[in-house]
Structure 1
Amino acid sequence: MQLYVIRRPSAWASLTELEKAGAKSAQIGNEEMSDRVRWIRSYVVNEPDGRIGTFCIYEAKDGAAIREHARRVGMPGEEFYPVATTVVVRPDPVPAEAV
């Protein structure tokens, strides 16, 4: 499988909507398309219009698998790019636990 970055701009009105979509995405990926799509992680961003967007990292068989997965979930899936290489300067920071 190839590694991809998927951009989903202004796709959700709230974090609650995003959480519901994430649960459905994981379920479909794990149970229905595990041989074609694998969700690795997502970076959630606040868009200028006040909505929520994401940059998602997926492994996928091909672009058609990304599109089909997005269609089944009901979220954007047309803006994606194959990853040429990965440069890690530092690992992702770990949020401090609330005391």
Structure 2
Amino acid sequence: MPEFVIERTMPGAGKLSPAELKAASQTSCAVLRDLGPDIQWVQSYVTDDKIYCIYRAPDPQLIRDHAQQAGFPADQVAAIRTVISPMTAE
């Protein structure tokens, strides 16, 4: 299934408490359950003012639907074309 990176502008995201992050995660998971098995949340990276999420979905519209239903921004949704790492240099 295609993977996407989602950029969410959320000022102060890096200062969210563990309880606030848990609540956001629970909201996301509840919407994912409602949307069905065609969309999966892989993981997210929280920075000072943004959250970058990795999702699997058949198309970017399903990711936008998830964001809208969960009440999260989805400023950018970009398809991941390939992954590189230090191992790529070998």
Tell me, yes or no, if the aligned pair for 1:7 and 1:55 is still in contact at 8 Å. yes
Rounded Cα–Cα distance in structure 1 between residues aligned with 2:60 and 2:40: 13
Q: Is the 8 A contact 2:44 2:52 kept in 1?
A: yes
Once the two structures are TM-superposed, the CA of residue 36 in structure 1 deviates from its matched residue by 2.4
Normalising to structure 1: TM-score of the pair? 0.72
Q: In the alignment, is the contact (CA less than 8 A) between 2:9 and 2:75 conserved in 1?
A: no
**CA distance 1:78–1:10, change in 2 (3 Å):** closer
Higher RCO, Cα 8 Å, sep 6+: 2
Q: Residue deviations 1:45-95, cap 9 Å, x none? A: 112xxxxx21100001111100111111110124110001011337xxxxx
Counterpart in the other structure of 1:22 = 25
Which amino acid in structure 1 is aligned with residue 37 of structure 2? D
**Secondary structure of 1:43's aligned partner:** strand
Name the counterpart of 2:78. 81
Alignment correspondent of 1:55: 52
Aligned residue-pair number: 84
How far apart in 2 are the matches of 1:34 and 1:86? 26
**In 1, Cα distance between the equivalents of 2:16 and 2:43?**
19
- Report the secondary structure of 1:42's partner residue: strand
TM-score, with structure 2 as normaliser: 0.79
Structure 1 9/78 Cα, relative in aligned 2: closer, same or farther at 3 Å?
A: closer
Give the partner amino acid of 1:59. R
Q: Which has the higher helix share?
A: 2
The structure richer in strand per residue is: 1
